[in-house]
Amino acid sequence: MIWSTTKKIQVNNLLVPYKFVILMSFALLVLFFSISVVQGNAFAQEFTTGISESIAITADREVVSGDIISVRDKKFGLSAVDYDTSMYGVITDNPAIIMDDSALVGRKYVTSSGEAFVRVTTKNGPISKGDFITSSDNPGIGQKAIKSGQIVGMALQEFTSTDPNEVKEILVSIDIRPNLVQDNIKVNLLEALRSGAQAPFLTPLTSLRYILAALVTAGSFILGFSSFGKTSGSGVEALGRNPLASKEIQHSIVLNMILTAIIMLSGLALAYFILVL
């Protein structure tokens, strides 16, 4: 903030940095929350965490635990395309919590969140902990995600095989959403938005991600523009009252412009990482 007196021009740049610190503190809090929700703690288990629901599914083969399921035209089936935007969840035979519909004939249990075992291959290469898993053209079977697109979640176990057709169950943190590969941020952001628009549903976690990303982006721009507008107005007013202090005032305005740009870019970066993590 800039103001003048009859004796001197006082330049005080504490207001914008203070807001910047608040934004960064909020950003770190949101980032920590996103990481803790996505990653979780991998541990040995025999059942699926989270809530599962019973569904009736149509498929050309027997549906088994670990199969990736999609929904099209309100019908459930095996995911059979790479980066399937219609992915709904994973079949499990050992659900922890069930929302059961006993009227369904031959029902199966599917989970869309938590941790579950997923059937995968090494068609796209060996799978390491932390790799993202997506669907494949092998119905119901997952694979390592190597480009931007819809994923089913993050691998919590490794799988290495020289046979790309070998199928194995590995533990996966289920989080169905568009994923960005960071080799080309501009292109991948467009791909993620397109994937999100094509998907017939959004899981609660995915919805939360988009909401948080939108709020952070909007907040950073509003904060940046409002701070710069007030500072610029005060600078112009002070310059008119005391032209002799023009250099100090101009330096202050330039500094506030830089801080405003940092606030906006930080907001965009945080929104990007919220969608990626």
pLDDT tens figures, 38-47: 444 433 455 6
Each residue of 217-226: pLDDT tens digit?
A: 887 778 777 7
49 within 8 A of 96, measured Cβ to Cβ = yes
What is the CATH T-level fold of the domain 43-181, as seen in this structure?
Virus Head Decoration Protein; Chain: A, (2.40.300)
Handedness of CA 122, 159, 88, 78 (dihedral sign): positive
Confidence of residue 11 (pLDDT cuts 50, 70, 90): very low
Instruction: Pick the range with the lowest mean pLDDT from 36-40, 93-97, 183-187.
Output: 36-40
Q: Which of 97, 90, 106 is nearest to 169 (CA)?
A: 90
| 47-51, 117-121, 231-235, range with greatest mean pLDDT | 117-121
155 pLDDT more than 90: yes
Q: Quick one: what percent of the chain has pLDDT higher than 90?
A: 35
Q: Is the dihedral of CA 123, 128, 134, 138 positive or negative?
A: positive
Q: Where are the domains of the chain?
A: 2-33+211-276, 43-181
Q: What is the pTM of this model?
A: 0.55
* Intrachain domains 2-33+211-276 and 43-181 with the same fold: no
Task: Of 52-56, 140-144, 267-271, give the lowest mean pLDDT range.
Answer: 267-271
Q: For residues 71 and 35, which has the higher predicted lDDT (pLDDT)?
A: 71
43 vs 108 pLDDT, higher one: 108
Give me the phi and psi of 90, to 5 degrees please. Answer: -130, 135
Sorted by sequence, the CB contacts under 8 Å of residue 22 that are 6+ apart come out as none
Interhelix angle 15-39/246-276, rounded to 10 degrees, is 10
Amino acid (one-letter) located at 180: L
Nearest in space to 106 (alpha carbons), one of 67, 59, 70, 138: 59
Using CA atoms in the order 15, 16, 22, 25, what is the torsion angle rounded to 10 degrees? -140
Best CATH choice for the domain 2-33+211-276 from the list 1.10.8, 1.10.287, 1.20.20, 1.10.3470 = 1.20.20
Task: State in Å, rounded, how far the first CA of the chain is from the last one.
Answer: 37
